[in-house]
């Protein structure tokens, strides 16, 4: 048998074997998947473990005994497969997927009788079963759409080899499902995200190889040799890129952020399986296909990759680095100043309180939803109505709702609507601070470990030119989230760390090519700028195509997946674009700037460098001055304040009158006058602080926050009447909830 016949036979047999195995086992594997509470509905509690009064800190045996007791109690309420895990030395996370009576079982699970320790609830989540099924359907559909777009791109760009990459990606998903079931892991929302985004990692390995094959075809028409050399030359780049992405995921796992630890583990598995399928498997299939002579080069891989012959048509990427860096610094400075003035739109994960999402069977107006919740005894800090038919309510409470208060709200809506599904998240300040600290630790660990690896693998200059732009990528995403008032939740941290991985991946591919060209060029030190530009051109297709594959998956999640994934996908899309931008323009600029052998010679270069430094310093100085001037304004001196006339905070009708005036002005379209009226309210409230706050600090703080939110809306650069109305209505509801019944109806006296 000839080599050609042998290659054809091996190709057909292996493809037939893999296709048959996937077809026979995919359905049984899918049926064995354990769905998390996000998809089945259920309940999650995050306990702080403390010693009993007068006892020593809990020992490992006492912690294990507590977990065993919790498991027995879960079994007693009909939960055969509870997820109970110890996190750190003093936290226990309990997940009960499929639980339908969370409020009754909550007290049973946390009953102190018989426990060797004290359990305090620090975080809770409740998901209705209908919401869970809807989230699964939306996420799967979005994932399938993203996968279809990636496959279409691969086949369109790389013809026959693209088809092999698509088939290998299916094998990757199949193997990942096998690993998932073998580990008895639970398919959570974050794991589904990792499944979809892992496809981008897998496809990236094939794209790097295919671009190399195209380069080899430009040097030699021998198709078989081009495939061999292309894959051989790509292995080092894929290894380095996968290692740094894995380091970022390890940092996320080590930091111990519970809700996204599953995401990091799934991504680590994705990296390993992606290399196995989309490098080693695709390489062997590509070699057999090239040996078979079934397809000519034009159908196997498309056109060879050649550089433009005319030097004037070659874009000066390195020369654009200073302008790109200034643009990025301006965006970051704008976002930081806006953050200083208005802060970030932080979710419950970082601010503490309760987030309540309710889905109804018919539409509801915002003021009606606010009224129903307020009459149930809990006034939301913010409340928004959305969804296709205005059937979704997103309410946020600054205070932690008790189970009885949550039940009262749901019961109030059930009196008006036949079908009420809800999802609840509650976190106390300790958990919020812990999330923030661990998130910062995860990013610091990722950057430190990556810097060390790059310094050892290449040199300190490349490490610096890689890590500085990554920090800028993180700051840029945060700046855009601040400017756009987008919500920052715990999945934002997963998105940022994923961005770090992809941005690193992109930069390492470029620097690996620079390193290779430095080795192979006869006089590499003579014109480093030209060498850098050539290296970027050689890897530009790979950089753009890789970002495009993951961008399509993220866009599908943003447009079609369930609401909790939208901010994750948005942060990922912004970060991917920023990472590609900084990789192509900024990293090489920084490397050239710090390189000892790249001193400018011409007068134009000297003046250009001085201009860049001057502009960069100006941006920093103006930003620093703005940061200082936009600090919290000093409290005005105490002067005449409204008369306080009863228990608790007393008569607040004067403040309600000013807020009502502002609301009327907004409804008339006079936002400037509403802004001035809110300044009157702020001044009056500040003057009365020393009298009001000691009476009931909690009530005072709730109203103070509501005033701040209303002020933020009316003071916005381009205030939206709808947002101002919602904030003022929430403020009025807060004031009314703190008033004695006799004073709520009293005629208010005007405060000037």
pLDDT digits (tens, 9 = 90+) for 156-176: 889 999 999 999 999 998 998
| Residue 28 resides in a domain | no
Encode burial over 94-103: b for 16+ CB neighbours within 10 A, e otherwise. Answer: bbbbbbeebe
CATH number, domain of 411, equals 3.30.70.3220
pLDDT < 50 stretches in the chain: 632-647, 742-752
Q: Which of 279, 245, 201 is nearest to 500 (CA)?
A: 245
| Residue 541 resides in a domain | yes
| Residue 455 resides in a domain | yes
Residues 561 and 465 occupy one common structural domain: yes
Rounded to the nearest 5°, which phi and psi values hold at 17?
Answer: -65, -50
Residues 243 and 204 occupy one common structural domain: yes
| Residue 275 resides in a domain | yes
Q: What is the DSSP string of 288-356?
A: HHHHHT-S-HHHHT-SPP---SSGGGS--TGGGHHHHHHHHHHHHHHHHHHHHHH--EE-HHHH-EEEE
| Residue 725 resides in a domain | yes
CATH number, domain of 538, equals 1.20.1640.10
pLDDT of residue 638: 31
Residues 183 and 268 occupy one common structural domain: yes
Residues 695 and 732 occupy one common structural domain: yes
The span from the CA of 306 to the CA of 217, in Å, is 9
The first and second tokens of residue 191, run together, are 């794991």
Residues 588 and 455 occupy one common structural domain: yes
* Residue 146 burial by Cβ neighbours in a 10 Å radius (0-12, 13-18, 19+): buried
Picking from 427, 454, 487, the residue at the C-terminal end of a domain is 427
Q: How far is CA 169 from the centre of its chain?
A: 24
Residues 449 and 592 occupy one common structural domain: yes
Q: How far is CA 343 from the centre of its chain?
A: 18
Residue position matching structure tokens 């740094």: 244
Q: Which of 748, 739, 740 is nearest to 684 (CA)?
A: 748
Residues 221 and 296 occupy one common structural domain: yes
Range of the domain at 580: 318-345+431-629
- The set of residues, in sequence order, having a beta carbon less than 8 Å from that of 450 and lying 6+ positions away, is 244, 247, 248, 466, 467, 470, 500, 504
Q: How many domains does the chain have?
A: 5
pLDDT of residue 81: 64
The span from the CA of 61 to the CA of 642, in Å, is 59
Rounded to the nearest 5°, which phi and psi values hold at 402?
Answer: -80, 160
Residues 360 and 401 occupy one common structural domain: yes
CA angle 242, 244, 248 (to 5 degrees): 115
Residue position matching structure tokens 């904030």: 727
Dihedral of alpha carbons 736, 740, 744, 746, sign:
negative
| Residue 528 resides in a domain | yes
Q: Which of 93, 100, 117 is nearest to 45 (CA)?
A: 93
Residues 272 and 362 occupy one common structural domain: no
| Residue 559 resides in a domain | yes
The span from the CA of 528 to the CA of 532, in Å, is 6
Q: How far apart are the first and last CA of the chain?
A: 99
* Residue 68 burial by Cβ neighbours in a 10 Å radius (0-12, 13-18, 19+): exposed
- The set of residues, in sequence order, having a beta carbon less than 8 Å from that of 432 and lying 6+ positions away, is 348, 349, 350, 351, 352
Tell me the pairing of strands 83-87 and 91-97: antiparallel
């Amino acid at each position: 048998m000839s080599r050609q016949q042998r290659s054809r036979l091996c190709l057909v047999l292996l493809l037939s074997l893999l296709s048959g195995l996937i077809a026979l086992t995919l359905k049984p594997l899918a049926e064995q998947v354990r769905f998390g509470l996000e998809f089945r509905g259920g309940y999650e509690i995050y306990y702080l473990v403390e010693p009993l009064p007068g006892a020593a800190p809990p020992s490992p045996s006492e912690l294990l005994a507590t977990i065993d007791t919790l498991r027995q109690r879960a079994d007693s309420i009909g939960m055969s497969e509870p997820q109970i895990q110890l996190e750190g030395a003093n936290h226990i996370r309990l997940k009960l997927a499929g639980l339908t009576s969370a409020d009754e079982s909550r007290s049973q699970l946390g009953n102190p009788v018989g426990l060797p320790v004290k359990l305090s609830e620090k975080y809770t989540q409740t998901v209705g079963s209908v919401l869970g099924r809807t989230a699964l359907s939306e996420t799967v559909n979005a994932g399938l759409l993203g996968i279809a777009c990636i496959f279409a791109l691969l086949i369109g760009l790389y013809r026959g080899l693209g088809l092999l990459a698509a088939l290998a990606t299916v094998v990757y998903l199949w193997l990942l499902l096998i690993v998932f079931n073998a580990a008895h892991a639970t398919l959570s929302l974050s794991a589904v995200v990792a499944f979809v985004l892992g496809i981008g990692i897998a496809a990236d390995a094939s794209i790097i190889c295919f671009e190399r094959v195209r380069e080899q075809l430009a040097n030699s028409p021998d198709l078989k040799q081009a495939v061999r050399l292309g894959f051989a030359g790509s292995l080092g780049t894929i290894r380095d890129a996968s290692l740094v992405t894995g380091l970022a995921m390890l940092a996320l796992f080590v930091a111990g952020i519970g809700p996204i630890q599953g995401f990091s583990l799934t991504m680590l598995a994705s990296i390993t399986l992606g290399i196995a399928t989309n490098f080693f498997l695709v390489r062997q299939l590509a070699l057999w296909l090239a040996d078979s002579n079934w397809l000519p080069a034009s159908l196997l891989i498309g056109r060879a990759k050649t550089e433009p012959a005319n030097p004037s048509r070659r874009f000066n990427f390195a020369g654009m680095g200073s302008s790109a860096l200034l643009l990025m610094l301006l965006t970051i400075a704008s976002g930081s100043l806006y953050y200083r003035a208005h802060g970030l739109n932080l979710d419950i994960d970082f601010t503490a309180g309760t987030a309540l999402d309710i889905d109804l069977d018919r539409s509801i107006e915002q003021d009606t939803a606010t009224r129903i919740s307020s009459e149930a005894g809990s006034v939301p800090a913010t409340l928004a109505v959305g969804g296709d038919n205005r059937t979704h309510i997103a309410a946020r409470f600054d205070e932690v709702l008790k189970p009885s208060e949550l039940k009262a709200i749901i019961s109030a809506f059930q009196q008006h609507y036949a079908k009420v599904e809800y999802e609840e998240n509650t976190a106390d300040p300790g958990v919020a601070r812990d999330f923030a600290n661990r998130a910062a630790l995860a990013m610091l660990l990722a950057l430190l470990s990556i810097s060390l690896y790059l310094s050892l693998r290449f040199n300190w200059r490349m490490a610096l030119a890689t890590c500085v732009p990554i920090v800028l990528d993180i700051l840029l995403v945060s700046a855009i989230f601040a400017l756009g008032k987008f919500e920052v939740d715990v999945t934002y941290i997963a998105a940022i760390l994923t961005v770090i991985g992809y941005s690193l991946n992109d930069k390492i591919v470029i620097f690996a090519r620079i390193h290779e060209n430095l080795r192979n060029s006869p006089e590499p030190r003579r014109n480093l700028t030209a060498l850098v530009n050539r290296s970027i051109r050689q890897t530009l297709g790979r950089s753009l195509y890789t970002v495009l594959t993951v961008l399509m998956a993220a866009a599908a999640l943003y447009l079609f997946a369930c609401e909790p994934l939208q901010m994750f996908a948005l942060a990922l899309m912004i970060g991917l674009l920023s990472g590609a931008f900084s990789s192509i323009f900024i990293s090489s600029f920084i490397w050239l700037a710090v390189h000892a052998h790249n001193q400018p010679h011409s007068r134009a270069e000297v003046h250009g460098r001085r201009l860049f430094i001057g502009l960069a310093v100006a941006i920093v100085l103006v930003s620093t001055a703005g940061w200082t001037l936009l600090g919290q304004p000093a409290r005005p001196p105490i002067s005449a304040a409204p008369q306080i006339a009863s228990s608790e905070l007393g008569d607040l009708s004067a403040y309600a009158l000013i807020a009502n005036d502002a609301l009327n002005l907004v409804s008339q379209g006079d936002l400037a006058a509403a802004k001035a009226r809110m300044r009157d309210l702020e001044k009056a409230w500040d003057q009365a602080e020393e009298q009001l706050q000691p009476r009931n600090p909690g009530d005072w703080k709730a109203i103070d926050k509501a005033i701040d939110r209303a002020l933020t809306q009316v003071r916005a650069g381009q205030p939206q009447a709808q947002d101002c109305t919602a904030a003022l209505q929430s403020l009025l509801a807060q004031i009314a909830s703190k008033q004695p019944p006799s004073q709520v109806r009293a005629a208010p006296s005007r405060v000037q």
